[in-house]
Amino acid sequence: MAATQLQPRLLASLGYWVDKDRSGVISDNELQQALSNGYRLSDQFHDILIRKFDRQGRGQIAFDDFIQGCIVLQRLTDIFRRYDTDQDGWIQVSYEQYLSMVFSIV
């Protein structure tokens, strides 16, 4: 099966898995539950993600915005891991390194 055929099916199944109430949007609770399968993030950070990716201002995220948020979160995590050489969840970077990390995803 070609990748172009698989991708819509994969996205549809992801949407089904994340959008538990079938509302067509991702609520704060659904976001927390989905991200708990790979990230340990605080409630405050989940609120930041909702505010960042909720283009409608309703406290929930459209599915395409959820996908975009996941892509950004994964890219930031990959960059962070490059600097977290001892894998303790902490990094120390200079201001210039920080700017380089940010500009690499913008």
Q: Is the pLDDT of residue 12 over 70?
A: no
pLDDT reported for residue 106 = 67
Neighbours of 25 (CB within 10 A): 17
Q: Is the pLDDT of residue 101 over 90?
A: no
Mean residue pLDDT across the chain: 82
pTM: 0.73
Closest to 16 in 3D by CA, of 30, 1, 35: 30
What SS3 class is residue 40?
coil
pLDDT in tens, 29-75: 888 888 888 788 888 888 888 888 898 888 899 888 888 888 888 88
Domain extent for 27: 3-103
Structure tokens at 40: 């340990």
Q: Tell me, what CATH number does 90's domain have?
A: 1.10.238.10
- If one counts the domains in the chain, the total is 1
